[in-house]
Structure 1
Amino acid sequence: MTKAKQEALREPVDRSGKPTMVDVARLAGVSAMTVSRVMNGKGLVRESTRRKVAEAVAALNYTPNQEARNLAGSKPIRVGFLYSNPSAAYLSEFLVGLLTQSGLNNVQLFVEKCEAGTQEAEQTRRLIENGLDGIILPPPLCDSEAVLRCITEAGVPAVVVACGLPDARVGAVSIDDYDAAYRMTRHLISLGHQRIGFIVGHPNQTASARRLEGYRAAIAEKGADAAEELVVQGMFTYRSGLDAAELLLSLPERPTAIFASNDDMAAATVAVAHRLGLDVPGDLTVTGFDDTALATTIWPELTTVRQPIAGMAREAVQSLVRRVRAMRDGEPADPEQITMDSELVRRQSDAAPRIRPPARLPVTAGTRSRAG
């Protein structure tokens, strides 16, 4: 490292009284070098550490010394964020993560909405023409072959987020959707549920299939009811959740629990249950997936799988920054495939199934009791 770069990273005390990297490090309880790694996207840093640094930056309203960055050769990185009609709650969390990490990493963020369908490739090409260093794709575009082909043909690094089966040509940040759905289904079975409905996500998204596979694996392993009528197609939207829940709750033998592939469809299921006069969770357990803000704004609050949406967005920025900086330095820059942890979060929407006493059979004259 050159002397100029060392001086830039050191970032001496700002005599104007503005907070410095040393102040951020002190508040976060880490070293100044760790803060530097977080802000420059170099080296793997634990998610908990990145969060501490981000919180310290926000608390101090810290702005990196631009002169120091220029001396260190930290040219801004231009990143495009292309999205297409995800859940509003999901998009909100994703943007929080993107904006937080972009500020830390000297990233200029270009946000554009892409209408799904025939215009995907054209809008992607238009975004690339802005001279981007990289692109981040959330669901459902993370599974769009047209978008991925356009990006790879242009030679632009990309990171897909929350993709069930990431393309090897691009970087990826995801959770294990199969394992998360498997664990939630096992949890419901452990409560005593045997007849568990499942609302599948959008059929064009690979995460939907992985979650369905996890549900089915747990059902088969524990010998629960595997009737096909218990699996209903959804689209990851609230409206589709209403339709799916109505189908499941109109079955002659309705399920005692419904596991929806995202929180929007789970919230819709709770609404249908209430309309039908069913108590949640007394008459029906309902669980979701994602742990967006919606999970705690309805009643009862949802038991759900916590997918670290904001954290995944931050990690996507970090991964892309590492790759772009390596490419600028002429170093190997293969796409990173990163798997983050998920968590089952219990709240008020799940319970053991209500046990009804068996009907009493009439006693005939010739019947003897076991005790007698």
Structure 2
Amino acid sequence: MSWNNQGGGPWRPPGRGPWGQGPSGPPTGDLEEIIRRVQEALGKFAPGGSGGGGSGGFSLRTVLFGVLAAVLVWLAWGTFYTVQPNEVGINLVLGRYTGKTAAGLNTNWPWPIGSVIKVPVWDQLIEEVGYRSNGADVPEESQMLTGDKNIVDVHFRVNWQIDPAKPEDYVFNILRPRETVKAVAESIMREVVGLKTIDGILTTDRASVEADVQKRMQDLLNEYHAGVLVKQVQLQSVDAPSQVLSAYRDVTAAQQDQQRQVNEAETYANKVVPEAEGGASRILAEANAYREQTILDARGQTQRYNLIHEQYKKAPGVTRERMYLETMERVLGPMDKTIVDTNGTTTPVPYISLDALTKSSGGAK
């Protein structure tokens, strides 16, 4: 098998080579001849001989096939790579960022042309400030100055992760990410504590401090293009310095007692006030009822007097006698007395008191 070339091989037009192009000049040799000449040329530089012969051709052919196989293996092995579910792949070509890949099987140029940085974007990371998980205290990190010129020991932790949307910022924009996050957390916490009073930060302002520090940290890291998401800021402990800790605890206990007493007073007031209001409403209702009854009685007495007066004008004598008898009946009726009428004689009429008999018969029963 031979093919012709004019001045430089099959890649130079207008010659025709093994892809069907016709010769445009005199033949210069076949493939075996070219291999032999290359072998002779290389043999001049090889120690111990000039490199001729059939065995040398076989050796060069083997080397060429070995190199070709190595190139194919290099391409196949280095082109494909796998990204784990918690990772994002950062593709580099000649050291330049070209894009990111999701979890699964992906491709890139093999080394040394291309490379891949796998970033664990879903891993939750923790930075401890002012203390360590083994219980050690770090005063140079924990001691902070409040707005009212008091010192407090603040131990807190920051939960964060790499931003899945911007892992390239995390890889390329900050040199030591964990140290950067920790430094930002400590700086922002000192700033926020400096805006609070010691009483507030020891008692009621803890939740607001956590939220404020998280927001300020995220804003500052976004300005740095750090590719970091701050998930949570947790205050582990906030105490006064050990020299005055007992005094501040007494103050806190007194404040709690004060609040408890206030709550008890409010509870008592909530109980007594409704009862007093109910009693007042009842008294007012009784007074209104008595007023209405008195008014109605007065009106009834007035109407009765007017009726009697009308009858009196018609028959004064009869009316006076009737009024006298009714009055005597009302006055003497309940009295236990016996009145004997002598009818103008000195001898009394025998009279049997029925009341005594009635009473004795009633007692006999």
Fold match, TM over 0.5? no
Q: Which structure shows the higher helix fraction?
A: 2
Greater RCO (Cα-Cα under 8 Å, separation 6 or more): 1
Q: Which of the two has higher C-alpha Rg?
A: 2
Interval of TM-score (by shorter of Structure 1 and Structure 2): under 0.3
TM-score, normalized by length of structure 2? Answer: 0.18
